[in-house]
Structure 1
Amino acid sequence: MRQYRKVNHSLAGGGHKKSPKRLQSLWRGFQYKLMIIIKYLGKSIKSYLKYYQEVPPYFEGNCPECDHKLYRHGKYFRSAITKKKIRWIPIYRWLCSPCGKTFSLLPDFLLPYQVHNGKILQHAWILRYMKKKSFAQIQSIISNNETGGISVKTIKRWERFWKQKESDLINLLNRGLVELSSDSTILFMTKQLSNQQTFLYLLEKLWKILHPDRPYPFCGFFPWINQLINKI
């Protein structure tokens, strides 16, 4: 008999608590543009491999396109680069028989079509937007010869990816706060902030509403961002 490991799939991120029904309804209004479903499947590559190296995660989601049941449909391997290593990890696939589409179940510490894990991208983002470092400075700080280094061209590509998603993410957070918060000053406070400062401000506010008993993950907020990106 095939074995599965259960995992909590919270739309709100972190994989531990369910989001309020009103916010779940809001998330459903955004269409999946990629054939990828992003879920919390562990905090790191190490924990992911511990549980899912050979055994697929338990997943009962429906097709994002037609809402029919998805069935497991094999796996493939992809590289994932951490600060010091290059790892090959299994990515499990699910098939929707009625519409014939296949979806990959991607752990939220990996962004679609990016080989570097979320911690590296978050570090680069903070250096670029919060500490105002140049592309060359970012390269010298985050590159590691053991993993082949990171080119300036790659860092610029990350920035283009972020710019494409930035406005939609801010709008998504704004709508979530309007739905869930009675504090009318939150959106007023962002008028004096840059887009990046606005994003971090709104992200922390929404996190505290959804997870009042858990500290905000300053050192690991990119996995939650990754889940939100998959909804726009």
Structure 2
Amino acid sequence: MTDLTANLTDPSWAHSELSIDQQLALTTAATRLAADFDGIFGAETIERFLHSSYTQFATVGSIPHFLPLLAERFARQRLQALARVEGHHRDGKPVVLFLCTHNAGRSQMALGFFTHLARDAAIAWSGGSEPGLDINPSAAAAMAERGIDITGEYPKPWTDEVVRAADVVVTMGCGDACPIFPGTRYTDWDLDDPAGLDLPAVRPIRDDLERRVRALLDELGVPARS
């Protein structure tokens, strides 16, 4: 296997100001990703995705301590998407991508419902055209009332490979900023943005999302949890 440490600690790398702990964390993340995608992607591809994912979160000012973890999670999702696009992963499961502006409210609630209701029968991702910093606390509280925890999620952007891997792209308020790829099914859900709303005002949005997600699962032929 390629020595990943040399690349991650190279002073020519854009984030050479990283602490030793962060460099080691990224090296460990790259090693885990290399093991997970062994035989599918080489070290160069994995490093490129990990570095660009790290840059994304560093740019928006995420907490430095969590940056390597966020970068690894995002890079893994992107590599999973790329594997589907390139035909390395064929499990027959439908893939749905939920997009909104900040990926902090609507798309995260939709993702929470979809993942909970579909269980392992389908795959869902989410993203935003202008990702925020944190999950909307009112959205998280509203989902908790349904027994669904979305606090472990994080706002992130959409990327080309993630959009191309989706069978259905659900847009919610991102307008012209939403990506368009030929051959991909798109559907727009007209929903209020929960940003700045209190819990009582978010509940109707949550309930509307649940109805829409259940209908989408039915269209996809995916049995929903009762």
Query: For this structure pair, what is the TM-score category when the shorter chain's length is used for normalisation?
Result: under 0.3
TM-score by length of 2: 0.27
Structure 1 or 2: larger strand share?
A: 1
The TM-score normalised by the length of structure 1 is 0.27
Q: Which has the higher contact order (CA 8 A, sep 6+)?
A: 1
